[in-house]
Amino acid sequence: MSATLNHIGLARDAYKGAATTLCAGCGHNSITNHLVKAMYELGVEPHLLAKMSGIGCSSKTPAYFVEQAHGFNGVHGRMPALTTGAGLANRKLVMLGVSGDGDTVSIGLGGFMHLMRRNVDCTYIIEDNGTYGLTKGQFSATADVGSVQKRGSVNTYQPIDPCAVALTLGCSFVARSFSGDGKQLVPLIKAAIAHRGTAVLDVISPCVTFNDHDGSTKSYSWVKDHDEQIQDVTFIPFFEEINVDYEPGTIKEVELHDGSHLVLKKLSEDHDPTDRIAAMRLIEEARERNQLLTGLLYIDETAQDFASRESLPERPLRDLGEADLRMSRDDFALHMSELA
Amino acid sequence: MTPGPFVNDLMFQAATVNGSGSQSANLVLTRAIFSMGIPVAPKNVFPSNIEGLPTWYQLRVSPRGYQARAGEPDVLVALNPATWTKDLAGVRPGGAVVHEEAYSTAGARQDVSYFPVPFAKLAKTRISSDSLRKQLTNMLYVGVVAGLLGIPFEAIEHGIKRTFLTKPKAWPVNVDAACVGYQYWRDNFADRRINHTLRPMTGVTDGLVLIEGNQAAALGCVMGGCTVAAWYPITPSSSLCENLIAYADRFRVDPASGEKKIAIVQAEDELAALGMAVGAGWTGARAMTSTSGPGISLMAEFSGLAYYAEVPVVIFDIQRIGPSTGLPTRTSQADLGFVYTLSHGDTKHLVLLPGTVEECYEFAQDAFDLADRFQTPVFVLSDLDLGMNLWMTPPFAYPERPFDRGKVLSADDLERLESRWGRYRDVDQDGVPYRTLPGTDHPAAGYFTRGSGHDEDARYTEEAEAYARNMDRLVRKLETARGAVPAPVVDSSAGSTIGLIAFGTTHHAVVEARDLLREQGLPVDYLRVRALPLAASIAEFVRAHERVYVIEQNRDGQMYDLLRLELAAELAGRLRSIRHYDGRPIPAESITRPLLELEEKVPVQ
């Protein structure tokens, strides 16, 4: 039986990677599966995908999907810098960064913020479990106040909410989701990839070994009890026709850069995802209510991405040769005479 | 007392207040004298400050064209009341002192000539522009000095036009101000002679141009095909990327589309600056960053990643004095040892050591070739003296070689391969593997780059043998590179039993010191190191000499230490260390004095 092929003629297996070395039941493995599904259905060209990461459990995962793609597992907290440089050098690449909560909002907070501020064209997935897994269970900076560590200590410090930070900086795509909710996460990943600019996806991803106990606000059971979906998210790629039935007034539709569409059906909130201030209010109100709000918080399809703002050509910089890059002999001679 | 008159041989010093606009006036003087065919070597001794602290501009003029810093000034322009007493005390006996008339000379030394000028009053009465008065006051001393030293006023006009090349509007006001000073000299001092004078000459500066090392390096980046540059502002390296921006705006913009053929990013810090460059290098672009001491410290982790994951990148370190913040506006060669092994773990980098502005230009291009060829970070170790001062140089040569992009496999290459490609396999036994770039349209092209342990096929491994094999291959790669980096420049023409070894800007003091030593009956041979790892030929040079003095601008004798580590014990014992580390560029005297002492010769006074 032949496998079902996507619109560029690849089977789902083409998007798989090496076997995971993370714990059984780790939320990150679910996210990996959702990434495989999203990229398969979207028809991402494996050779154009650049998988970027920093250090930590989350940052290992790019080895576990799309084996044919190039990947770069760099240093702790610096994935944004590597991604910025790599993307500038070759605009054709699909830049996909996978990071964790420690990698993003502790050691890498500065770089994370500047990436968003520049609106570097990339998808930035935070596999957010509120804990340091590889070093055996210390709190991370996304741990909520009152959250209890496995060994019993209670976090008293304010969490840093990556989505709130992203909104403050005008990040052009901000969403939150849950590793266990593929129905919501897969279309959000597709939209993030289709978006031109920085797309931040904060995905709550329980750590089964160190942060899945009672008293944790990043456990499977807590998330299931407190998850409040803003919208029902449907992604319609550019190569498919839009064919959605809806009652007037219940749907918001966003056209993405590549001609794809996001169709958002109102669930818990009547939220306009192009309203940044409303998104910030929504996050604060959910926090007050002790809820985990998931869905597309904010999108701005009009924002110019970094490479465009820098007037870079679509042709990869790395493909330019001597004739493109060296000044002409005449210009050079003229310039030398100016120095006399 | 110094006998006179000396022709075309003097130290000029302007002592002014930072932020007063004296830099333009000093450049006008420099360019005016240079236009007379007289060799110039200017050094800006400036504070880490925007406005208010003392600053000095030292302009050395010598008939042979020495470019090293010389000792005390023969001609002083004193326009800073805060340093007036100390500045005056530093003038060489027989010197000339141009000073603000209001400064007291009562009881001052009698062995110099005083030329009091009412600068403040002249500025108030003779310069009409209120907004430019402060800046133009400095042009007044240009006129006075021109008169004193015999610089034709046409040369001053040339200096003004050259200094304000792109601002013709500034010409008349500056010429007028210089003219006021020149007239003041004529009305008051024309009949007074001093010990130093300037006369047009030929033969030494013919065809030479003036350029700063950082600008030369930026030009090298343009001609070397740099397409991604990321930097964080830091003295004294900022002007490198600022010059690159200026070049990019002029020469890298497609006039039709407005598209730029280079991305220059002012990063959020030095970690990100190198990270961006590494990301771009991984993708196949020629990428660089430039920084100085504190930035180099921050770049240690990414340097190790680029070394171990084998990513090409070029890093300019324009050295300043450390440790820590140190003296941000003073020069040094004290990053050598740190940069060579930058990062934790066993790390060794390629380090290029330009000694001239021409080498800043050439080595910048070489650095991109070497980085691509050896898939590794290449450091270019310049310094503040080289980077931020103007130097005379022959015009640079247009590059005739194509870029060396190294061992990069295209999709077609992969298709033709008979055996399986592995990212870190040493196919050619030179330690240099083949790489593919992201975006290569072939199923076998992709691999996972990582800073963690990896095997020949780039797979994660913690296996002991695989780790050791990889580390040994990296040594093989370094050995291959040892023969490919710029070779030492050797001059054994003195046929002496004594040799000198130096690198970088110490070269210019060595050139002069060798002349002085020869004149004292002690000719010495010379080897200039131009890169790390150290060339094998250095051992031959040491073997051919009984004693070899290693001269450098740091406290600990870092090059001396490296040589002692790498040379056989019997040769290491021939080395002696001479060090200069006060933050000012090394003068020849800092070589001749200790060397003659160590040779137990009494210096001739």
State the ipTM, two decimals.
0.97
What is the nearest CA distance from B420 to chain A, expressed in angstroms? Answer: 14
What is the nearest CA distance from A74 to chain B, expressed in angstroms? Answer: 6
B285–A90 CB contact, under 8 Å? yes
User: What CATH number matches the domain at B489-598, 3.90.550.10, 3.40.50.920, 3.40.50.150, 3.20.20.70?
Assistant: 3.40.50.920
A336–B448 CB contact, under 8 Å? no
Task: Note whether A88 contacts B: Cβ–Cβ < 8 A.
Answer: yes
For B520, list phi and psi in degrees, rounded to 5.
Answer: -95, 15
Distance (Å, rounded) from C-alpha A120 to C-alpha A113?
11
Q: Would you tell me which residues 45-74 of chain A have a C-beta closer than 8 angstroms to some C-beta of chain B?
A: 45-48, 50-52, 62-63, 66-74
CB–CB of B305/B347 below 8 Å?
no
> Residue A249: which domain range?
12-318
For B168, list phi and psi in degrees, rounded to 5.
Answer: -60, -25
Asked if residue A3 is part of any domain, the answer here is no
According to CATH, the topology of domain B211-393 is Rossmann fold (3.40.50)
- Own/partner contacts of B90-98, CB < 8 Å, gap of 24 or more, are B90/B13, B92/B2, B92/B11, B93/B1, B93/B2, B94/B1, B94/B2, B94/B3, B94/B4, B94/B195, B95/B2, B95/B195, B96/B148, B96/B194, B96/B195, B96/B196, B98/B141, B98/B144, B98/B145, B98/B148
**Hey, what are B10's tokens?**
């003097």
What is the nearest CA distance from B155 to chain A, expressed in angstroms? Answer: 14
**B452 three-state secondary structure:** coil
A110–B228 CB contact, under 8 Å? no
- Looking at residue B251, what DSSP letter applies? H
B448–A73 CB contact, under 8 Å? yes
pLDDT at A245: 73
> Which among A85, A313, A331 has the least Cβ separation from residue B228?
A85
Distance (Å, rounded) from C-alpha B278 to C-alpha B119?
53
CB–CB of A177/A293 below 8 Å?
no
Residues from chain B contacting residue A317 (CB–CB below 8 Å)? 227-228, 261-263, 280, 285
Tens digit of pLDDT for each residue in A137-185? 899 999 999 999 988 899 999 999 999 999 999 999 999 999 999 999 9
CATH for B6-206 is 3.40.920.10
Tens digit of pLDDT for each residue in B177-233? 999 999 999 999 999 999 999 999 999 999 999 999 999 999 999 999 999 999 999
pLDDT at B281: 98
Asked if residue A24 is part of any domain, the answer here is yes
Entry field: residues in chain B:
605
B94: left (phi over 0), alpha (psi -120 to 50) or beta: left
Question: Cα separations (Å) of A309 from A82, A91, A108, B258, B264?
Answer: 19, 13, 24, 12, 12
pLDDT at B387: 98
B443: left (phi over 0), alpha (psi -120 to 50) or beta: alpha
pLDDT at B559: 98
pLDDT at B2: 46
> Which among B227, B276, B443 has the least Cβ separation from residue A84?
B276
pLDDT at B124: 94
pLDDT at B602: 55
Tens digit of pLDDT for each residue in A300-333? 999 999 999 999 999 999 999 999 999 999 999 9
pLDDT at B52: 87
In total, how many domains does chain A have?
1
* Parallel/antiparallel/unpaired status of strands B313-321 and B327-331: antiparallel
Shortest CA distance from B401: residue in chain A: A322
**Hey, what are B564's tokens?**
């002692």
Asked if residue A326 is part of any domain, the answer here is no
Helices (H), B232-323: 238-251, 270-283, 293-298, 300-309
What are the residue boundaries of the structural domains of chain B, listed by start? 6-206, 211-393, 407-486, 489-598
Which CATH number covers residue A95? 3.40.50.970
Alpha carbons within 13 angstroms on the beta-carbon side of residue A279 total 27
Residues from chain B contacting residue A83 (CB–CB below 8 Å)? 279
pLDDT at B183: 97
B263–A48 CB contact, under 8 Å? no
pLDDT at A2: 58
What is the nearest CA distance from A175 to chain B, expressed in angstroms? Answer: 25
CB–CB of B503/B530 below 8 Å?
yes
In which residue ranges of chain B is pLDDT below 70? 1-4, 602-605
pLDDT at A1: 45
Query: What string of DSSP letters covers B40-56?
Result: EEEEEE--S-SSSSEEE
> Which among B263, B441, B451 has the least Cβ separation from residue A74?
B451
CB–CB of B24/B42 below 8 Å?
no
The pTM is what?
0.97
